[in-house]
Structure 1
């Protein structure tokens, strides 16, 4: 199923999402990002949103804008953040300082060479962290992106892509359930 087919499945009550999806998946609607970055972020966000038809449609479209290695970086971001977001959200929400002194003991080697550009990986990781609701990871990736010279605009664009992709996944999946 193509991205256009999925957009057509959005119910009337979610027409704003259809418009927002078109917007955030374009350079004009995602200021500060390249088409490659937009689709790397969109793919990582779709994976994190866990709706397979949307993930497949985004992957198909993303392949037109990014290399296989760059798209693998999006998959790495979704996978590693799937783990890190749970663990670091636990540290944040429990608010027991002792846990912060303990070794995490989680392998994260993929973060050192995720495939593709480091900035793209950080943007994708930030987007996945937004979908998964991990404040500690959001803070960490935002700081890393700022240290690499990114302004607020492309970082906000990544968060907007994550928000729209997730909302589209929820709306279409709910429409499927409602029949």
Structure 2
């Protein structure tokens, strides 16, 4: 039987990235999150991390495990947070409090109606915000999750997924660029 998805991704990682390979296996292969949260997080983070191989392999695995509407919502989380993370991180980094009072004026309806469980979508948005390094969005989504009764362990697991998926993407991007 040919390797698919996660196995193919792990096999693509070079020897020097053994820790990343092992962490992918433990965080995704033996994850504690329910399957929808785990693979939705992995897919959204893969898209956010921006490496074609990582995205393709994790998308292959996610689409085998998730309903089409869940895959669509995970992709939507990556898309909307790509915009929001740039916008809110920039407002924060400018440091002028007057920007905080200006409305975004950006369409974000998918956050209110993601087509999946709101907690799952919030978790994916939090994980993508970690990949993209937006503290403002991390704080906002973590607060929403905690107010919804989500335990810190769930948030922690999503952050671990974001970390190892990004590490795999960084490694494979470097390998592809350096030949």
TM-score (norm 2): 0.94
Q: Are 1:66 and 2:66 counterparts?
A: yes
Deviation at 1:2, TM superposition (A): 3.7
Aligned counterpart, 1:4: 7
- Mapped to 1, the partners of 2:176 and 2:167 lie a distance apart of 14
Contact 1:70 1:117 in 2 (8 A): no
Question: Structure 1 unaligned runs (5+)?
Answer: none
**Preserved CA contact (<8 Å) 2:43 2:55:** yes
CA distance in 2, matches of 1:173, 1:90: 25
Counterpart for residue 43 of structure 2:
43
1:128 is aligned to 2:125: no
Question: CA RMSD of the aligned region, Å?
Answer: 1.2
Question: Is 64-73 or 81-90 further displaced after alignment?
Answer: 64-73
Output the CA distance in 2 between the equivalents of 1:101 and 1:7: 45
Cα deviation, residue 94, structure 1:
1.1
Q: Which residues of 2 match residues 88-167 of structure 1 at below 5 A? A: 88-167=88-167
1:24-82, Cα deviation, whole Å (9 max, x unpaired): 113x4x33x10121000000000000111211111110122211101111111100000
Residue 178 of structure 1 deviates from its aligned partner by 2.1
Could you tell me the TM-score, scaled by structure 1's length? 0.94
1:14 to 9, 17, 33: 17
1:24 is matched with which residue?
27
More displaced 10-residue stretch of structure 1: 113-122 or 158-167:
113-122
Displacement of 1:114: 1.3
Deviation of 1:5 (Å): 2.3
Structure 2 contact 126–141 (Cα < 8 Å) conserved: yes
Between the aligned partners of 1:52 and 1:62, the Cα distance in structure 2 is 15
Equivalences, count? 176
Structure 2: distance between partners of 1:154 and 1:24? 12
Query: Structure 2: 5+ residue runs without aligned partners?
Result: none
Moved over 4 A (4+): none
SS in 2 for 1:106: coil
* 1:25 to 1:9, Cα distance in 2 relative to 1, 3 A: same
